[in-house]
Amino acid sequence: MIVFRRRLGGIPAAFSIHFSMNKGAKVISEAILGRDFRTVVVAGKAYTIHPPTIERMAGAISHLSGVKEAQTIREVLLSLGDMDKLAKALSWFIAGDESLAAELGKGTLDEAVEALEAVADMIEIKVFLNAVSLAKSVSLLAAKPR
């Protein structure tokens, strides 16, 4: 929808175009322009997280397979209770590998959970939870001898 409106503030007869976009279109346009990112602070240092690729999600989710079911993403992540695993998962989302895990491990459990919540906000939460659940199922299958 295009809306023409008169601007106030000394510029007579100036018009601006206001595009009304749905949330999906906004997310896509921000991703294309590179504006879709989150900045998180862990252990006193700021990190920028961009929307995760499938490879980064797979690497991170491999460390989150021990979670328990809960009502919110925060509760799911807190159920893991292992800062080492959370730091490795977060490192995958930030760097694409585990290179930042030791540095991120110096932060608090709450900082790591908040950072992972920020990542979950960038992707469809149901997809994220299903991927974590699938990783958990696969790890259980691998652990059971036949």
**pLDDT lower than 70: segments of the chain:** 1-35, 124-129, 131, 138-146
d(CA 79, CA 68): 6
pLDDT in tens, 124-142: 666 666 767 777 776 666 6
User: In sequence order, which ranges of the chain are alpha helices (DSSP H)?
Assistant: 23-33, 54-61, 73-80, 83-95, 101-104, 109-122, 125-143
Question: Given this model, what pLDDT does residue 114 score?
Answer: 95
Question: Given this model, what pLDDT does residue 11 score?
Answer: 45
